[in-house]
C-alpha cells in the first residue's frame, strides 16, 4: 500500500496513538520497531489541542514529528462511546466533551473538515457505529444512515481535499478517504452496506461496528460474510481488533489492515503478549525470574531485561514499566504480522495460524491468574 | 575515576535512579545520553524488591541491566526524611516504612550489608543527615555520631566486602566505600568532621547534610569551607545538588561528583532546563511554538520535537511527556558537565560559569511564571 508518507506492507497492524502519541514510546523507537503506519483519534485531537491548531502547525505528521503514514478515525466510534453524552440525528451527532462537558456537534462534513485539517494519509468516512445488541430494524436504519453519511463524507472530501496542510499541486500524493461498512451482526445488512458503500466508491473499505461487546465468534462471522462483498484489489480494514490469534486469523481471511488498543493498553496493565501466551507480569512467580519476557522475542526489551525487573517496575508503579511493556507488546504484534506476511509469500499461513492459536490455547488451559 | 564497571570522567553529574530506574528512561537511552554512573537509593530498594532478592539475582547491575557504574546512598538521608516515622539512637535508626508502616532498624552494619548485597561500585557510609536549622550543640553531637558510624561502617565493610555479588578473587576490581562529612552550617564542625573522616580513611569523601532546606548561599559556603579539608587526590562528592549554575560553580570549586533529583523530577513537572534558562512547558505561550525545547541543544528530543508538541503531551497528561522532558533535562545536565570538563582542560571554566549564570539570571529577570 502506498501512502503520501511511505509504503505500508500489508497485512498490517496499526498501533493506536490516540493523542498523537503511542503512549510512552518516543517516535524513533516506533520507527525502530518497524511501525509503518499508526492511528490517531480525531475526537481526542479535536478536543485537545484542537484540529485548527494542528492545521496551523502543518498537520499532525509535523506536529508529532512522525514522517511515516498516519490514519485517523472519523470520531464516530469515540462519540458513540460517550453514551449518555450524545444525541444522534440525520444531520449528525450532538455530544458533550468527556473532559469538561462542553457541547459539540459532529457531522459528516465537520468530521471531514477535522480530518483534512489533521492531514492523515488515510481518513475515515463519518459513520454511526451501531451498538451491540441491536435488533434488525435498528441495525438497518443505522446502516442506512451510515450510507447517507458516507455519501456526504465523500462529497465534502472531494470539494475540500486540497485543503490538506501538506497539499502540494506538484505532488501527486493525496489524502485517501475510506468508506465504512456497518449492519450489525446481520449478514444481509452487511452485504447491502458493502454494496452501497462500494457504489459510492472509495480507495479502501473498513468493516466497522465490531469490538463493541459482541461475542468473539460473531466478530469473525461478520468479517467472514462481509469480506466477499468488498473489492479484493482495495485495502480492507477491520477496525478495533484484536488478540494475536485473531489478527492472524483475520489476515488469513484476507484482511489487510487492523488496529487495536489491546497491545498498548494491556501493556500498561502489566499484561504481556508472548510466544508462550499471555503473561501477567505482576504475578509473584516472576519475582526472581531471570528469563526474558519472551524467550523467542528479539526485541530490545527481551534482549536486555528480565521478567524479575519488569515485575519490579510494574509493582512499584514506575513509569518505565509502561514504556518497556508497551515496546515489547508492539514488537510482538508487529513481528506476528511480519510472520504473517512471510507465511503468505511461502503459502504457509495455515501453519502459522495453528501455532499462534496453540500458544494462546495452552496458556488459557493453565488457568493463569490475570 | 575508575570503577569496576567502567571509567567515569569527572567532574560528573549522576542521575538519580531511585528504584533501579531513572524514571521513564530505558537504559539504552541513558547510555546514548552518555550516563557513566547513576545513583540508586538503598532505602527504596531495601523495601522493594528487597536487597536480599537483588543479591540472589546477581546484584543491582544485573537486576537493572546496567553495565556501567552505580553508586548507592546509605539509606540515611531517606530514613531521616521520614521525620515522624523514625527514632535515632547510638545503635542506629528505628523507622517505619512509608509504604506500609512496617517497622525496620538500620545500623551502620545493616546499611553496609544492604549496600554490599546491592553491589554498587561506590557505596556510602551510614551517616546522620543533620537537619536544618540545627543549633551548634545539636550539629556537633550529630557530627560526632556520624564519625562513630563511619568507623563502624568501615569496619563492617572491610570484614564483608568479599560478599559483593560480583566479587571475583581473580579480578582486582572492588566495591569502594566513601565517607561522609557532616557538621551542619558550622565551618569548624565541618573541618573537624572532615579531619575525623579522613583519619578513618576512605577512597572518596562526600559532603552530606546539604539541600535540606538551608538557603542556597549557605550550601555554597559549607562546600567552600569543607573542600580544603578533604584530600584533592580523592574524589570529592557533594550529595543532592543542584541547579545548573550551581553544579558548574561547585565543579569550579573542585567538586568531582554531584547527584540530584532536580533534572528528572522537574521534567516530570514540565520544567525544562535550557540554554535560555528554565522553561515551563505548560505555559500557553508555547502552544503554537514550533521551535525546539532548547535551540542550542543537540539531544534527540531537541532535534525532533517542538515546544508545541511537548506542551500538548504535558497538558494532556501523556506518559511520553515525562520521557521526553527527562531525556532532555538529563542531556542538558550531562552536556553542561561535558562543557565543564572541556573548559577545565582549556582553563576557561570561569567564562563558562559566567555564561551559565547569565542564562539563568536572564530568565529569572523575566519573572516567568512557574
In tens, the pLDDT along B145-155 reads: 999 999 999 99
In a 13 Å sphere around the CA of B288, the CA atoms on its Cβ side amount to 10
| Cβ contact B335:B263 at 8 Å | no
Q: Which residue among B290, B316, B320 places its CB closest to the CB of A26?
A: B320
Q: Are both A274 and A126 inside the same structural domain?
A: no
Q: Are both B235 and B295 inside the same structural domain?
A: no
Q: Which residue of A has its CA nearest to B21?
A: A320
Q: Are both A201 and A336 inside the same structural domain?
A: no
- Which residue from A353, A359, A325 is spatially nearest to A339, judged by alpha carbons? A353
Q: Are both B274 and B298 inside the same structural domain?
A: yes
Question: What's residue B362's pLDDT?
Answer: 65
Q: Which residue of A has its CA nearest to B24?
A: A320
Mean per-residue pLDDT, B272-291: 97
Asked if residue B45 has pLDDT above 70, the reply is yes
Q: Are both B47 and B91 inside the same structural domain?
A: yes
* Residue B302 belongs to a domain: yes
Does B20 sit within 8 Å of A312, measured CB to CB? yes
Does B26 sit within 8 Å of A320, measured CB to CB? yes
Mean per-residue pLDDT, B210-219: 95
* Residue B11 belongs to a domain: yes
Q: Are both B243 and B288 inside the same structural domain?
A: no
CATH code of the domain containing B107: 3.20.20.105
**Model pLDDT for residues A125-181, shown as the tens digit of each residue:** 999 999 999 999 999 999 999 999 999 999 999 999 999 999 876 677 799 999 999
* Residue A370 belongs to a domain: no
Q: Measure B306 CA to nearest chain A CA, in Å.
A: 8
Check CB contact of B19 with chain A, cutoff 8 Å: yes
- All residues of chain A having their beta carbon less than 8 Å from the beta carbon of residue B287 are 49, 53
| pLDDT: which is higher, A84 or B160 | B160
Q: Are both B34 and B148 inside the same structural domain?
A: yes
| Cβ contact B3:B36 at 8 Å | no
CA B48: distance to chain centroid? 20
Q: Which helix (H) or strand (E) element contains residue B143?
A: helix B136-160
Check CB contact of B56 with chain A, cutoff 8 Å: yes
Question: What's residue A170's pLDDT?
Answer: 65
Does B57 sit within 8 Å of A308, measured CB to CB? yes
Q: Are both B176 and B235 inside the same structural domain?
A: yes
What is the tally of structural domains in chain A? 2
Check CB contact of B27 with chain A, cutoff 8 Å: yes
Q: Which residue among B24, B53, B56 places its CB closest to the CB of A319?
A: B24
Between β-strands A257-260 and A271-274, what pairing exists: parallel, antiparallel or unpaired?
Answer: unpaired
- All residues of chain A having their beta carbon less than 8 Å from the beta carbon of residue B290 are 57-58
Is pTM beyond 0.95? Reply is yes
- All residues of chain A having their beta carbon less than 8 Å from the beta carbon of residue B306 are 57, 63, 65
Decide which of A197, A232, A260 is a domain's last residue: A260
Q: Are both B37 and B79 inside the same structural domain?
A: yes
Q: Which residue among B23, B25, B309 places its CB closest to the CB of A64?
A: B309
- All residues of chain B having their beta carbon less than 8 Å from the beta carbon of residue A26 are 300, 320, 323-324, 327
Asked if residue B366 has pLDDT above 60, the reply is no
| Cβ contact B104:B184 at 8 Å | no
* Residue B190 belongs to a domain: yes
* Residue B29 belongs to a domain: yes
SS (H, E, C) chain A: CEECCEECCCCEEEEECCCCCCCCCCHHHHHHHCCCEEEECHHHHHHCCCHHHHHHCCCHHHHHCCCCEEEECCCHHHHHCCHHHEEECCCEEEEECCCCCCEEEEEHHHHHHHHHHHCCCEEECCCCCCCCCCCHHHHHHHHHHHHHHHHHHHHHHHHHHHHCCCCCCCCCCCCEEEEEECCCCCHHHHHHHHHHHHHHCCCCEEECCCCCCCCHHHHHHHHHHHHHHCCCCCCEEECCCCCHHHHHHHHHHCCCEEEECHHHHHHHCCEEEECCEEEECCCHHHCCCCCCCCCCCCCHHHHHCCHHHHHHHHHCCCHHHHHHHHHHHHHHHHHHHHHHHHHHHHCCHHHHHHHHHHHHHHHHHCCCCC
Q: Which residue among B24, B56, B320 places its CB closest to the CB of A320?
A: B24
* Residue A30 belongs to a domain: yes
The cell numbers describing B237, all together, are 562528592
- All residues of chain B having their beta carbon less than 8 Å from the beta carbon of residue A65 are 304-306, 309
**Model pLDDT for residues B295-347, shown as the tens digit of each residue:** 999 999 999 999 999 999 999 999 999 999 999 999 999 999 999 999 999 99
Q: Which residue of A has its CA nearest to B44?
A: A316
Q: Which residue of A has its CA nearest to B319?
A: A24
- Give the confidence band of B176 by pLDDT, cuts at 50, 70, 90: very high
Which residues of B are marked as active site? Answer: 73, 259
* Residue A168 belongs to a domain: yes
Low-confidence ranges of chain A (pLDDT < 70): 169-170, 362-370
- All residues of chain A having their beta carbon less than 8 Å from the beta carbon of residue B53 are 287-288, 308
* B103-to-B43, B86, B96 alpha-carbon distances in Å: 13, 9, 5
Decide which of A203, A236, A260 is a domain's last residue: A260
Q: Which residue of A has its CA nearest to B53?
A: A288
Q: Measure B295 CA to nearest chain A CA, in Å.
A: 16
Question: What's residue A367's pLDDT?
Answer: 46
Residue A209 phi/psi, 5-degree rounding, is 70, 20
Does A64 sit within 8 Å of B319, measured CB to CB? no
Q: Are both B283 and B137 inside the same structural domain?
A: no
Q: CA A263, CA A267: separation in Å to the nearest integer?
A: 6
- All residues of chain B having their beta carbon less than 8 Å from the beta carbon of residue A327 are 26
Which residues of A are marked as active site? Answer: 73, 259
Q: Measure B369 CA to nearest chain A CA, in Å.
A: 21
Mean pLDDT of chain B: 95
Q: Which residue among A305, A315, A323 places its CB closest to the CB of B24?
A: A323
CA B150: distance to chain centroid? 20
* Residue B370 belongs to a domain: no
Does B27 sit within 8 Å of A304, measured CB to CB? yes
- Give the confidence band of B78 by pLDDT, cuts at 50, 70, 90: confident
Q: Measure B288 CA to nearest chain A CA, in Å.
A: 7
Check CB contact of A49 with chain B, cutoff 8 Å: yes
| Cβ contact B259:B239 at 8 Å | yes
Q: CA B111, CA B283: separation in Å to the nearest integer?
A: 44
> Which DSSP letter does residue B16 get?
B
Decide which of B228, B260, B292 is a domain's last residue: B260
In a 13 Å sphere around the CA of B107, the CA atoms on its Cβ side amount to 10
- All residues of chain A having their beta carbon less than 8 Å from the beta carbon of residue B58 are 290
- Helix B244-253 to helix B349-365 angle (10° resolution) is 160
Mean per-residue pLDDT, B45-67: 98
Which residues 287-326 of B have a C-beta within 8 angstroms of A? 287-288, 290, 300, 304-306, 308-309, 312-313, 315-316, 318-320, 322-324
- The maximal CA–CA distance of chain B, rounded, in angstroms, is 61
> Which residues 6+ apart lie within 8 Å of B69 measured at CB?
B3, B4, B5, B6, B8, B36, B37, B38, B121, B122
Q: Are both A182 and A329 inside the same structural domain?
A: no
> Which DSSP letter does residue B288 get?
T
Q: Which residue among A57, A287, A322 places its CB closest to the CB of B319?
A: A322
Domain extent for B284: 266-365
Check CB contact of B265 with chain A, cutoff 8 Å: no
Q: Are both B147 and B250 inside the same structural domain?
A: yes
Burial of A21 (0-12, 13-18, 19+ CB in 10 A): buried
Does A315 sit within 8 Å of B53, measured CB to CB? no
Cα distance from N-terminal residue to C-terminal residue, chain A: 38
Q: CB contacts < 8 Å between A and B, how many?
A: 107
Q: Measure A363 CA to nearest chain B CA, in Å.
A: 27
Q: Which residue among A25, A49, A306 places its CB closest to the CB of B287?
A: A49
Q: Which helix (H) or strand (E) element contains residue B334?
A: helix B319-346
| Cβ contact A178:A124 at 8 Å | yes
Asked if residue B208 has pLDDT above 60, the reply is yes
Q: Which residue among A20, A24, A316 places its CB closest to the CB of B319?
A: A24
Mean per-residue pLDDT, B45-52: 98
Asked if residue B370 has pLDDT above 70, the reply is no
- All residues of chain B having their beta carbon less than 8 Å from the beta carbon of residue A32 are none
Amino acid at each position: 500500500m502506498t501512502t503520501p508518507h511511505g509504503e505500508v506492507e500489508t497485512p498490517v497492524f496499526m498501533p493506536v496513538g490516540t493523542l498523537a502519541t503511542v503512549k510512552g514510546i518516543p517516535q524513533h523507537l516506533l520507527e525502530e520497531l518497524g511501525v509503518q503506519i499508526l492511528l490517531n483519534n480525531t475526537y481526542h485531537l479535536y478536543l485537545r489541542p484542537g484540529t485548527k491548531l494542528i492545521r496551523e502547525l502543518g498537520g499532525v505528521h509535523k506536529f508529532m514529528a512522525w514522517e511515516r503514514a498516519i490514519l485517523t478515525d472519523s470520531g464516530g466510534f469515540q462519540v458513540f462511546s460517550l453514551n449518555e453524552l450524545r444525541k444522534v440525528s440525520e444531520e449528525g451527532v450532538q455530544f458533550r466533551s468527556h473532559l469538561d462537558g462542553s457541547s459539540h456537534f459532529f457531522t459528516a462534513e465537520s468530521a471531514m473538515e477535522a480530518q483534512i485539517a489533521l492531514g492523515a494519509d488515510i481518513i475515515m468516512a463519518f459513520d454511526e457505529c451501531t451498538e451491540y445488541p441491536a435488533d434488525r430494524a435498528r441495525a438497518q436504519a443505522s446502516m442506512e444512515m451510515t450510507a447517507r453519511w458516507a455519501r456526504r463524507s465523500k462529497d465534502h472530501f472531494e470539494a475540500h481535499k486540497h485543503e490538506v496542510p501538506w497539499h502540494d499541486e506538484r505532488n501527486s500524493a493525496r489524502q485517501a478517504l475510506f468508506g465504512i461498512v456497518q449492519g450489525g451482526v446481520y449478514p444481509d445488512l452487511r452485504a447491502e452496506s458493502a454494496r452501497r458503500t462500494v457504489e459510492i466508491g472509495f480507495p479502501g473499505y473498513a468493516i466497522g461496528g465490531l469490538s463493541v461487546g459482541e461475542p468473539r465468534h460473531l466478530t469473525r462471522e461478520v468479517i467472514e460474510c462481509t469480506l466477499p462483498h468488498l473489492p479484493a484489489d482495495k485495502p480492507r480494514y477491520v477496525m478495533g481488533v484484536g488478540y494475536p490469534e485473531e489478527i492472524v486469523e483475520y489476515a488469513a481471511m484476507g484482511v489487510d489492515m487492523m488496529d487495536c488498543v489491546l497491545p498498548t493498553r494491556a501493556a500498561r496493565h502489566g499484561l504481556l503478549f508472548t510466544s508462550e501466551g499471555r503473561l501477567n507480569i505482576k504475578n509473584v512467580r516472576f519475582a526472581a525470574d531471570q528469563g526474558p519476557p519472551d524467550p523467542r522475542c528479539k526485541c530490545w526489551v527481551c534482549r536486555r531485561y528480565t521478567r524479575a525487573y519488569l515485575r519490579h517496575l510494574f509493582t512499584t508503579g514506575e513509569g518505565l514499566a509502561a514504556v518497556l511493556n508497551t515496546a515489547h507488546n508492539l514488537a510482538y504484534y508487529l513481528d506476528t504480522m511480519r510472520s504473517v506476511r512471510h507465511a503468505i509469500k511461502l503459502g504457509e499461513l495455515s501453519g502459522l495460524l495453528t501455532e499462534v492459536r496453540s500458544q494462546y490455547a495452552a496458556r488459557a488451559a493453565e488457568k493463569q491468574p490475570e
